[in-house]
Chain A
Amino acid sequence: MAYTEEELKKELETKEYEYGFYTDIESDTFPNGLNEEIVIAISKKKEEPEWMTLWRLESFKIWKEMVEPEWANVKYKKPDFQAISYYSAPNKKPKYDSLDEVDPELLDTFKKLGISLDEQKKLAGVAVDIVMDSVSVATTFKKTLAEKGIIFCSISEAIKEHSELVKKYIGSVVPQKDNFYAALNSAVFSDGSFCYIPKGVRCPMELSTYFRINQAGTGQFERTLVIADEGSYVSYLEGCTAPSRDENQLHAAVVELIALDDAEIKYSTVQNWFPGNKEGKGGVFNFVTKRGLCEKNAKISWTQVETGSAVTWKYPSCILKGDNSIGEFYSIAVTNNYQQADTGTKMIHLGKNTKSTIISKGISAGKSQNSYRGLVQVNSRADNARNFSQCDSLLMGNECGAHTFPYIEVKNKTAQIEHEATTSKIGEDQIFYCNQRGINTEKAIALIVNGFSKEVLNKLPMEFAVEAQKLLEISLEGSVG
């Protein structure tokens, strides 16, 4: 039976699906600190094959030799890497006994996002009293994918069950030594997703980490590997619009995408980590390495909406290795209060007739700093490479900052590179115009921001776009007096 996304959604609405996906593992946390024993212990805990253990150890060795990068336009107190516990199994003990104990501000946000009560409980870490059996949904979901030969599971499962694929591709796009955080992730990653689409297969539904079986929340060091075999297509959704609070301050994920000949990968992210409070206290540091490799005629699109984190450092990139391959980057980054974001992309043109498009929308409010950093590199063999970049910044108030750092390195005379940048401010006249039509200031800002971000929002899968829109509104609430 073909199972459409629509049908699946319906079924999910009627069944309390999420809880059934959860497998209980006794709480189990490693002591703080990082050394070879810890790396080996993580690998052992996850029952990994030996090659994986060795790969982790190699990564650890590389990491030890590296220093944390300084060049991003962000300031923060460096994490103490010996003060972190590198393994913590999903804890079955709930944090709270009822919703009454949860921060009302958080609940308020849940409400605005239209998250169901039960889901609110789950997200806030409240004990869930009804555990529904949704195995059937999960099974149907898995079955549809399996019929097409699609593999979608946790990275840990993949390391055991699909060892040869993982072994072939892990680290092939983001090598262990790529950067400080990538090396750290390679040594200690404990969770993440794996996805493989076989030759010529169009994945019939949006793959979302949300649906993944046996996955309890996002790990601190996530590792994602997506492989689209020749001529295949997949749209992958990462993240969740619900605000994620986490006692882990540092998050360093690695995402690797491989699009083989004629394949296409759409990777959409909505990120809403806790940004810290209005005074800039707390909040997550989000240091992410995301990179995709395009073979011949392949295409990778990154679309992201970033509203969270205290500090974000993130540059989803494309290596356009094959001739005629295409890389796209569509991004909205919102910063408010004391948030700092340094995001952007790298488009590396290696093949002939390669094309890249970069649309970056930065929105800054409060006392935040929002930087775009982009590199377009055209190598000597990349004849007729083309790039179009557009970086727009929208400022709200006088205390925030927007910065654009476009780097262009061209080693081939046939390249065509276009770069456009604009900075605008939400004007009082715009607000008054909206007010006069009966639209209050808060709503007016949301409208203006949505208009500003439209080109990127349009790239998101419909359902995600609606949520992302709401999220933008919420993140900017109260940002103009």
Chain B
Amino acid sequence: MLKINNLHARVEDKEILKGINLTVNAGEVHAIMGPNGSGKSTLAAVIAGKEEFEVTEGEVFLEGENLEDTSPEDRAHKGIFLSFQYPVEIPGVSVTNFMKTAINESRKAKGLEDMPAKDMLKLIREKSEMLEIDRKFLSRSLNEGFSGGEKKRNEIFQMAMLEPKLAILDETDSGLDIDALRIVANGVNKLKSKDNAVIVITHYQRLLEYIVPDFVHVLHNGKIVKSGTKDLALELEEKGYDWLKQETVI
């Protein structure tokens, strides 16, 4: 599904990603953990094609295709979805309208007609029920005045609507209350299949109890310094990152 080779990326003069290697196969769940500022969100943004970051070395492949010259919207059309750590507000644009536009743009890219309104409404109903979202909420302006948790749940709603091949969830769990965490995690699990893959970026073991990862990676200072199974997450919860940081220094 996703293959990242020796990826280096910088913003202005600052190198943030310093040689990332990562392979994610269809059907897998990968967790990425790591201290603040280690480059997790940057990695997510680079995979999604944010042009602010300059890739200086290495490459990203999606289903064998080098994404080097692929625009962010085309990457989205190819099935990459990013649940933002900090979702952006768009005043005056309702969640429904935003989703309608997103879905139809993707369809257009594939040479399909707009989704009929009837199907769209059905899809919205189905997905909002799954994530226990009040439909009134969907006519509000996108992320404007949403609480932290509402924003995150809304990101997962969008993911459910778009049914991506590769979903990257950047700290989707932070800000969610206990019930919301369970609902959101269940939603993600329902969307999981042998044909798609999920990367969850998180600081907490708790989420991983719901969305059980096949692999856990620790990112530190722009590099993956350790990979393991879900037990690694438990170990991190217990010991913190210091032992890993020291390992890399040595």
Q: Which A residues form the contact surface with B (CB < 8 A)?
A: 427-430, 432-441, 443, 447-448, 450-455
- How long is the Cα–Cα vector from A478 to B91 in the complex, in angstroms? 22
Q: Which residue of B is nearest A452, CB measured?
A: B92
B189 in contact (CB, < 8 A) = no
> Do B101 and A447 touch (CB < 8 A)?
yes
Known: A428-B52, A438-B77, A451-B91. 15 other contacts (CB 8 A): A427-B88, A429-B88, A430-B90, A433-B84, A433-B90, A434-B102, A435-B76, A437-B76, A437-B98, A438-B76, A438-B102, A439-B102, A441-B73, A448-B93, A450-B92
- How long is the Cα–Cα vector from A443 to B97 in the complex, in angstroms? 13
- How long is the Cα–Cα vector from A436 to B50 in the complex, in angstroms? 9
User: Which residues in A have their C-beta under 8 angstroms from that of B60?
Assistant: none
Query: Which among A427, A438, A443 has the greatest number of chain B C-beta atoms within 10 A?
Result: A438
Q: Which B residues form the contact surface with A (CB < 8 A)?
A: 45, 48-50, 52, 71-73, 75-77, 80-82, 84, 87-93, 97-98, 101-103, 105-106, 109, 141, 158, 162
Quote the shortest CB–CB distance from B90 to chain A (angstroms). 6
Q: Which residue of B is nearest A453, CB measured?
A: B92
> Do A436 and B72 touch (CB < 8 A)?
yes
- How long is the Cα–Cα vector from A430 to B82 in the complex, in angstroms? 14
Contact partner, B71, options A435, A437, A455, Cβ 8 Å? A435
User: Which residues in B have their C-beta under 8 angstroms from that of A438?
Assistant: 73, 76-77, 102-103, 105-106, 109, 162
A–B Cβ pairs within 8 angstroms, 28 of them: A427-B88, A430-B89, A432-B50, A433-B84, A433-B88, A433-B90, A434-B90, A435-B49, A435-B71, A435-B73, A436-B49, A436-B73, A436-B81, A436-B82, A437-B102, A437-B158, A438-B73, A438-B76, A438-B105, A438-B109, A440-B71, A440-B73, A443-B101, A443-B105, A451-B90, A451-B93, A451-B141, A454-B92
Give how many A-B residue pairs fall within 8 Å (CB-CB): 76
Q: Which residue of B is nearest A432, CB measured?
A: B50
Q: Which residue of B is nearest A455, CB measured?
A: B92
Quote the shortest CB–CB distance from B249 to chain A (angstroms). 34
- How long is the Cα–Cα vector from A438 to B106 in the complex, in angstroms? 6
Contact partner, B90, options A440, A443, A447, A453, Cβ 8 Å? A447
User: Which residues in B have their C-beta under 8 angstroms from that of A453?
Assistant: 92
> Do B162 and A450 touch (CB < 8 A)?
no
Quote the shortest CB–CB distance from B77 to chain A (angstroms). 5
> Do B105 and A452 touch (CB < 8 A)?
no
- How long is the Cα–Cα vector from A429 to B49 in the complex, in angstroms? 13
Query: Which among A435, A448, A455 has the greatest number of chain B C-beta atoms within 10 A?
Result: A435
- How long is the Cα–Cα vector from A403 to B77 in the complex, in angstroms? 40
User: Which residues in B have their C-beta under 8 angstroms from that of A450?
Assistant: 92-93
Query: Which among A432, A436, A451 has the greatest number of chain B C-beta atoms within 10 A?
Result: A436
- How long is the Cα–Cα vector from A259 to B103 in the complex, in angstroms? 46
- How long is the Cα–Cα vector from A393 to B62 in the complex, in angstroms? 41
- How long is the Cα–Cα vector from A440 to B105 in the complex, in angstroms? 8
> Do A430 and B102 touch (CB < 8 A)?
no
- How long is the Cα–Cα vector from A428 to B53 in the complex, in angstroms? 13
Q: Ordered nearest first, which 3 A-B pairs have the shortest CB separation?
A: A451-B92, A451-B93, A438-B76
User: Which residues in B have their C-beta under 8 angstroms from that of A428?
Assistant: 52
> Do A436 and B93 touch (CB < 8 A)?
no
Q: Which residue of A is nearest B78, CB measured?
A: A438
Q: Which residue of A is nearest B141, CB measured?
A: A451
User: Which residues in A have their C-beta under 8 angstroms from that of B103?
Assistant: 438
Given known A-B contacts A451-B93, A454-B92, A439 and B105 have beta carbons under 8 A apart? yes
User: Which residues in A have their C-beta under 8 angstroms from that of B82?
Assistant: 436
- How long is the Cα–Cα vector from A436 to B89 in the complex, in angstroms? 14
- How long is the Cα–Cα vector from A466 to B50 in the complex, in angstroms? 32
- How long is the Cα–Cα vector from A439 to B52 in the complex, in angstroms? 18
User: Which residues in B have their C-beta under 8 angstroms from that of A435?
Assistant: 49, 71-73, 76
> Do B84 and A439 touch (CB < 8 A)?
no
Q: Which residue of A is nearest B142, CB measured?
A: A451
Quote the shortest CB–CB distance from B108 to chain A (angstroms). 9
Quote the shortest CB–CB distance from B80 to chain A (angstroms). 8
Quote the shortest CB–CB distance from A421 to chain B (angstroms). 15
